[in-house]
Structures are given as structure tokens and as C-alpha cells.
Amino acid sequence: MSYLIAVIVILVILWAIGTFLLKGEDLSQWDRPVEGAAQSFPGHEGPSKGHWEAVTAIEQFGLDAMGLGRKQRLDFMRKFMDDMGRRREYSAEFVAVDAGGIPAEWVLAPGSDSSRRVLYIHGGAFIAGSPVSHRNVTSCYAELCGAAVLAIDYRLMPENRRQQGIDDCRSAYRWILDNGPDGPEPVSHLVVSGDSAGGNLSLSLAAWVRDQDLRAADAVVALSPTVDATFTSPSIVSNIKSDVMLGPLFSVLLKIPTAIRRWLFVIENHFNPANPVVSPVFGDLSGLPPTLVQVSEAEMLFDDARRYVNKARASGSQAVVQSWAHMMHVWHIFYPEVREAEEAWDEIRKFVDSTR
């Protein structure tokens, strides 16, 4: 009987910690439209044909992955993403480089300025993706911004710890300040950007750079970033059916009781989910570089984006959010087939130009 009581007490304590101590601050005060720094692209005619074709490809991927074991599914996802990058033709050149101990590649468009640089951090849920999978994104940056783009191959989970991927981003940032595609050369203009998980790493990195008193980036661009690992924003639930990419995954995850879900995050990531290192919206958002966040109003991370921008602006940082109706998560990667991606890239170009 005493053993049973001890087990019950331990379970109650774990539940209480998961429910209260791993929750973080209440972010609901930031659940409102962003005043004076928001732009919406309503898409009155509905999604383009290219968007629906991309949706079909994503849905087929989900069907093909059904029935696979965890390791097989991860390998399948990584190959699928890399194949997306390999199937295209590019005018940019891709040059492998050791970025201070981090495997990476320079993405160089004709006529790019080696002193103007973009540090690009790919998405893929921290478990997939590579510089190859995101070549369509990095080549867009190189061509539209006339900059040398450094795409890093940071360490992925589950083979590595979450902290190791974060450390790789920090090391690459230090390196790119003093090194270009032609060798040692100070940077004249620097953009840090990433999508989804890479957007999370980019926003976390910007705060770390500030705290280290390093040269700040001139701009940060986050595409559909995840900013809150506690998953408490309203759109996490309200947009689960309209998010064709994240919805199928989260529909299973959100069925797990909240306290258990948070403990699973701790076990897998070795972080409190409310730690600003992995959930940048919980951190100090003052003194950050000009930041652009682009997000779809149909995706589950829509309110996360608004929360981040609202809090950053209230903290005195220059942050703006641009949202598109109907789009899938990180639709930018399907440029130029998806017409709305061209629109988003044009806005990124204008934002980057405004920070020079």
C-alpha cells in the first residue's frame, strides 16, 4: 500500500510540474492584431493552381509515409526533402565550405556581393532538412538580395541533442561575421533567416547575439516560425484542419494530455518547453534587429507569429508581420510554381533593402 501511495504522489508531482512549472508565462495578452506593423494578403481569388498542386504533393507524401516505422519514416522524410532540392535547376552556384567547423554551402548568384551575406537556417522540425533540401529558398535569397548565402548543415535530432544544433548556429554566426565566399572579409550587411524550425533557431539566435554583445544582424526574416514549444496559442487548435502540412502531425500530438506532452518535450529536447532558447517568445525581446515574420493565416503557427511580433514591439524592437490567406506552412519553398510565393519573396526583398 505504501508503495502505491508513493507512486501516486510521484505522479501527482510530475503532473503538477508539467501543468504549471513547464507552462511559462501567460501569453494571451499578445493574442490580438498587430497594430501599425501588419500587412495581410487576402487572396480574394483563392489559392493559385500551383498551391493546390503543392498541397497534393504534400498529401501524397503523407500517404506514402503511412505504415512506416519511426526510423523508416524519418529516412523517408529526409530523402523526400532533399529530392525536392535536387530536382530543380538553378542559376546560383553551390560551393561546399567548412564554416568554423560547421558543414555548410555558399549559395552564390551571378554578381552577388561577397560582403553582403545571409545566414540561412533550414527547417524540418529539427529532425530533417539540409542545405540541399532548401536550395530553392537559398537561391532566391542569393538572386533577389544580391548576397552570398551561407546555408548551414546543423546537427539534427534524434542523433544529436537539440543544444548541439543551437550551438552550430551560434558558431556559424561568429564565423560569417569575418568570412565570405572568397575567404576572410568583414561583413557589411547581414541577414539571418530561417523557416519553421529554422525560423525558431533564427529568432533564438538573434537574442543570443544581443546578449553576447556581438555585431547584430541588420535584419532577421522568419518564415512560418515556431516560437512556442508549449503550443498554447489559439490557432494551434483552431487551424489544425486548415493546416495541410502540420495538421496531420499535431492532430495526434494534441490528443496527448498537456502535462504528458510537456514532459515528452523535456525528455526529447532536454529543455523546459518554456525556455526562451527553444521558445523565443518567452524571452526578452528588446534590443533586437529589424525583424520580418511571414506566416499563413491558415496554418497552426499563425497566432504564434502575432504573439511574437506584438511582444517584440511592446519591448521596443522593430518587428512586422505579413500574413497570407489560405497558404500552407512555408509556401515560399514552392516558388515559382506557387504564385503567392513570388509575392512573399518580393516583400522579403523590399524588407531587406530597407535595412541597408
Would 99 be classed as within a structural domain?
yes
Looking at the chain, the whole-number percentage of residues with pLDDT higher than 70 is: 94
299 falls within a domain: yes
Domain-located, residue 47:
yes
Query: Which residues are paired to 106 by β-bridges?
Result: 95, 150
In a domain, 221, yes or no: yes
CATH number for 66: 3.40.50.1820
Could you give the 3-state DSSP secondary structure of residue 35? coil
How confident is the model at residue 13, as a pLDDT? 58
Q: Are 352 and 291 in contact (CB under 8 A)?
A: no
Q: In the predicted model, is pLDDT for residue 16 greater than 60?
A: no
Angle between helices 162-178 and 197-211 in degrees, nearest 10:
60
Strands 179-180 and 183-184: antiparallel
Domain with 294 in it = 41-354
3-class secondary structure, 252: helix
- Is pLDDT at 67 greater than 90 in this prediction? no
Residue 173 neighbours by CB distance under 10 Å: 27
Angle 167-264-250 (CA atoms, 0-180°, nearest 5)? 95
Confidence of residue 350 (pLDDT cuts 50, 70, 90): very high
Supply the mean pLDDT for the chain.
92
pTM metric for this prediction? 0.94
How many angstroms separate the CA atoms of 265 and 207, rounded?
22
The pLDDT value given to residue 43: 78
Q: Would residue 325 count as lying in a domain?
A: yes
pLDDT at 220: 98
**Which one is predicted more confidently, 45 or 58?**
58
Residue 316's pLDDT is 98
Q: Is 2 domain-assigned?
A: no
Question: Is the pLDDT higher at 18 or at 114?
Answer: 114
Q: Is residue 141 part of a domain?
A: yes
Residue 245 neighbours by CB under 8 Å, 6+ apart: 58, 299, 328, 329, 330
Per-residue pLDDT reduced to its tens digit, 190-246: 999 999 999 999 999 999 999 999 999 999 999 999 999 999 999 999 999 999 999
| Separation of alpha carbons 209 and 174, rounded Å | 9
Cα separation, 194 vs 197, in Å, equals 7
User: How many domains are there within the chain?
Assistant: 1
Q: What is the pLDDT of residues 101-158, one digit of tens each?
A: 999 999 999 999 999 999 999 999 999 999 999 999 999 999 999 999 999 999 999 9
Question: What's the pLDDT score for residue 24?
Answer: 81
Q: Let me know if residue 343 belongs to a domain.
A: yes
